[in-house]
């Protein structure tokens, strides 16, 4: 393998990492406030389809991205409405969102494009040359060369990680979000409106999941496929846990899972793959997810009130 190939491999790994990262960041924000969002896989599916829809009809991936964010917020608001306003079970609500996403996107795909399985391909998507961030001065540097020609979404993912870290650990709002996730009753006694903070965290988190979905359909790939997001949302949840509910931890974990994906692709090109049972290499990222969770979950501590509905007048 020469330098160019290595760079390409790293770039591709980052491409896989980005949707996982956005999913994990969604989880970090939402769960820091105390709301589990297991529906983020479904929200990604919404984001992936609507991202494509916007990009396809406007011929601009930016419009697609905005539509992805909008639908993420909308579905996030549904989750918030059920779990915060009505204290519905967070797992049930999230699962319902996943189920709705599966059925509704398949239906919409056939209804809008009269096709099954795959949407039409996009000419203008973030993976296309015109939308890449070119940093020619990096091209000659070994390893960093991979960063000379990346989709804008990948950079966006890194920026969001930093922003999330600043939000959670250096702003007043962040301190309050974490307070709501640790001890909502204490937050109330300090005059913090737990419900408002949680609404914000769930919706803003869901917007990130929407971006993550769009990153699949209009950045990593140039179209929507009916199998999206292929469990990326759940891998993102695993990355969140592995990353100890912190933004940079999530980034590290997402990179690890992204590497798992790329190893799978490498096996495919080395020619070993045909000797293995078909599909065996495809499960590699998921096996990695399981192994990591089994090995590390016990050492990772969730926010104390994570997943607990909050009743103000509970006795």
Partner 1 sequence: MKALEVRSISKMFPGNLANDNISFSVEKGEIFAIVGENGAGKSTLMNIIYGIYTPSGGDLLVNEKEVKIRSVEDAIKLRMGMVHQEFMLIPRFTVTQNIVIGDEPHKGIFFDYGRAVREVRELSERVSLTVDATAVAGDLPVGVQQRIEILKVLRRGAQILIFDEPTAVLTPEETVDLFVTMRKLQAEGKTILFISHKLKEVMEIADRIAVLRRGKLQGIVNKKDTNEEELARMMVGRNVVLEIPKVDVEVGAVAFACHDLHVRNKRGYETVKGMSFDVRGGEIVGIAGVQGNGQDELVNAMIGFSHPVSGSMELNGKNMRLVTTAQLRKEGMSYITEDRARRGLVMPYTVRENAVMGQHLGRPFSKGIRMDYDKLAEFAEGKVREYDIRPGDVYDTAGSLSGGNQQKLILARELSLPHNFLIASQPTRGLDVGATEFVYHKLLEEKKAGKAILLISLELSEILGLSDRILVIFEGHIVGETTPDKTTEEALGLLMLGVGIDKKVQS
Question: At its nearest, how many Å lie between partner 1 and the CB of residue 193?
Answer: 8
Q: Which of 247, 238, 198 is nearest to 83 (CA)?
A: 198
Omega cis (within 30) before 182: no
Q: Which is nearer to partner 1, 192 or 266 (CB)?
A: 192
Q: What angle do CA 44, 50, 51 make, to 5 degrees?
A: 80
Q: Which is nearer to partner 1, 106 or 183 (CB)?
A: 183
67 CB neighbour count, 10 Å cutoff: 24
| CA dist., res. 149 & res. 8, Å (int) | 9
278 CB neighbour count, 10 Å cutoff: 8
Q: Which is nearer to partner 1, 31 or 41 (CB)?
A: 31
Q: Which of 304, 47, 290 is nearest to 182 (CA)?
A: 304
Question: At its nearest, how many Å lie between partner 1 and the CB of residue 304?
Answer: 8
Question: At its nearest, how many Å lie between partner 1 and the CB of residue 208?
Answer: 19
| CA dist., res. 150 & res. 311, Å (int) | 46
Question: At its nearest, how many Å lie between partner 1 and the CB of residue 182?
Answer: 4
7 CB neighbour count, 10 Å cutoff: 21
Long-range contacts of 305-309 (CB under 8 A, 24+ apart): 305/34, 305/180, 305/181, 305/182, 305/183, 305/184, 306/31, 306/34, 306/36, 306/181, 307/31, 307/34, 307/35, 307/36, 307/90, 307/91, 308/34, 308/184, 309/83, 309/84, 309/87, 309/88, 309/89, 309/90
Q: Which residues pair with 134 in a beta bridge?
A: 149
Binding residues for partner 1, rule: CB under 8 A, are: 170-176, 178-179, 182-183, 185-192, 304, 312-313, 315
Q: Which is nearer to partner 1, 140 or 196 (CB)?
A: 196
Q: Which of 27, 31, 34, 30 is nearest to 308 (CA)?
A: 34
Question: At its nearest, how many Å lie between partner 1 and the CB of residue 58?
Answer: 33
Q: Which is nearer to partner 1, 175 or 287 (CB)?
A: 175
Question: At its nearest, how many Å lie between partner 1 and the CB of residue 40?
Answer: 24
What SS3 class is residue 21?
helix
Whether 97 and 209 have beta carbons less than 8 Å apart is answered as: no
Question: At its nearest, how many Å lie between partner 1 and the CB of residue 303?
Answer: 9
Question: At its nearest, how many Å lie between partner 1 and the CB of residue 296?
Answer: 19
Q: Which is nearer to partner 1, 45 or 176 (CB)?
A: 176
Q: Which is nearer to partner 1, 276 or 301 (CB)?
A: 301
Q: Which is nearer to partner 1, 91 or 259 (CB)?
A: 91
């Amino acid at each position: 393998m020469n330098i160019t190939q290595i760079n390409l491999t790293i770039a591709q790994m980052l491409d896989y990492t980005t949707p996982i990262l956005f999913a994990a960041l969604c989880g970090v924000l939402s769960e820091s406030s105390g709301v589990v969002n297991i529906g983020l896989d479904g929200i990604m599916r919404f984001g992936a389809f609507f991202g494509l829809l916007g990009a396809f009809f406007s011929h601009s991936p930016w419009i697609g991205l905005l539509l992805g964010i909008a639908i993420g917020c909308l579905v996030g608001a549904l989750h918030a409405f059920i779990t915060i306003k009505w204290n519905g079970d967070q797992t049930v609500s999230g699962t319902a969102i996943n189920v709705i996403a599966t059925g509704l996107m398949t239906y919409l795909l056939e209804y809008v494009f009269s096709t099954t399985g795959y949407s039409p391909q996009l000419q203008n998507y973030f993976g296309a040359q015109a939308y890449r961030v070119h940093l020619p001065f990096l091209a000659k540097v070994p390893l960093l060369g991979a960063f000379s020609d990346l989709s804008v979404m990948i950079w966006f993912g890194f920026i969001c990680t930093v922003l999330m870290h600043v939000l959670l650990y250096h702003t007043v709002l962040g301190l309050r979000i974490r307070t709501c996730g640790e001890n909502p009753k204490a937050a109330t006694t300090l005059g913090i409106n737990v419900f408002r903070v949680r609404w914000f965290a769930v919706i803003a988190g869901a917007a990130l999941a929407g971006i993550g979905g769009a990153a699949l359909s209009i950045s990593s790939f140039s179209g929507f496929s009916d199998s999206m997001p292929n469990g990326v949302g759940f891998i993102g949840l695993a990355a969140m846990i592995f990353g100890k509910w912190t933004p940079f931890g999530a980034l590290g974990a997402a990179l690890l899972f992204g590497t798992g994906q790329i190893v799978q692709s490498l096996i495919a090109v080395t020619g070993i793959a045909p000797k293995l049972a078909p599909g065996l290499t495809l499960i590699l990222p998921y096996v990695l997810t399981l192994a990591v969770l089994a090995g590390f979950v016990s050492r990772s501590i969730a926010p104390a009130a994570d997943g607990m509905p909050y009743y103000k007048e509970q006795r």
